[in-house]
Structure 1
Amino acid sequence: MQVATHLFGTVDVNPDTILQFPQGLLGFEENHRFQLIHEESAGSPPATFTLQSLDDPEVAFQIIDPTALGFEYEVELSDEETEALKLASLADVAVMVVLFKEEGKVGVGTRSPLLINVRERLGMQKVLPQIKPKVMLTSLSTGV
């Protein structure tokens, strides 16, 4: 099927690849169907993805795997959340965070990661009361 988008023009979407967010996303609760879109890169996986709403062509989010930024999450899911995501295995969950621009700088929505069951193509946004990221510094140019 073809879908009009604000950023990419008209794109072909395989209905089997649509992500369902039954509760929508914060501030965009009426958007339930999304498609991951990324620029093709030679030989390496994309750094970021665009999570494009299929319900509103003007709604799109840049998302990234938080481990690419040095964050690792320990997220506890309630029985209701596990059921809503139809999780059979934690290995089926991808955690992503939303990037945003604020005053010309890029920020990361660390308190509300996206949890996506990649097998069932179901997602939810989980608001965390506090975060406990494990931030690893892999390179320092000056001694501390």
Structure 2
Amino acid sequence: MVQIQTVHLGELTVSQEDIITFPKGIPGFEEVTEYILCDVDETYSYLQAVNQAELAFIVTDPFLHFQDYEFELSEELIKDLQLSEEKGIAVRCIVTWNSDPSRTTANLLAPIIFNISDRIARQIVLQNTFYQTKQKLNATSAQEGGES
């Protein structure tokens, strides 16, 4: 078992198997490669750094908010994360929280892709898309975000 200090959730005890490795880190935080995913409720989770109590991201499943959200994974990413249907894939997007719920946003431009079985993940930046880094969560469709 691993003890993790967190700012938002206090001290956590997690199994080594719960640790998710980001081999390349998260853009802007490349030196931090180990995280755990802690559910807050049925919609949101904390992606908490294992060795930095103050580093945590609120994440959500984008498909809960944007049913028409879609993108293709590159062959490079599929290979890097050793993805396959048997291993299971999860997608999360980082949320920018606001005390005014109408101003809470999700980064649909840079989703995080998880290989569930092997506990490895990577944040990618989508190319040639209208998705935004600050897509309002209260929008009924991702296309309201600026497609012309």
Distance, in Å, in 1 between the alignment partners of 2:96 and 2:122 is: 18
Equivalent residue number for residue 63 of structure 2: 67
TM-score (norm 2): 0.77
Return 5+ residue gaps in structure 2 as ranges. 132-138, 142-148
Distance, in Å, in 2 between the alignment partners of 1:115 and 1:90 is: 15
Aligned counterparts, 1:2-13, within 5 A:
2-13=3-14
Identity of aligned residues (%): 27
Distance, in Å, in 1 between the alignment partners of 2:123 and 2:84 is: 19
Query: C-alpha deviations, 1:112-137, integer Å up to 9, x for none?
Result: 0000011111100010123367x966
Query: C-alpha deviations, 1:44-88, integer Å up to 9, x for none?
Result: xx2101000113111100100111102444332333211210113
Match of 1:56 among 44, 49, 52: 52
Does the CA-based 8 Å contact 2:87-2:118 persist in structure 1?
no
DSSP-derived class of the 2:71 partner = coil
Query: Which structure's CA Rg is the greater one?
Result: 1
Q: How many corresponding residue pairs? A: 131
Equivalent residue number for residue 22 of structure 1: 23
Q: CA RMSD in A?
A: 2.4
Between 1:55-64 and 1:108-117, the stretch displaced more is 55-64
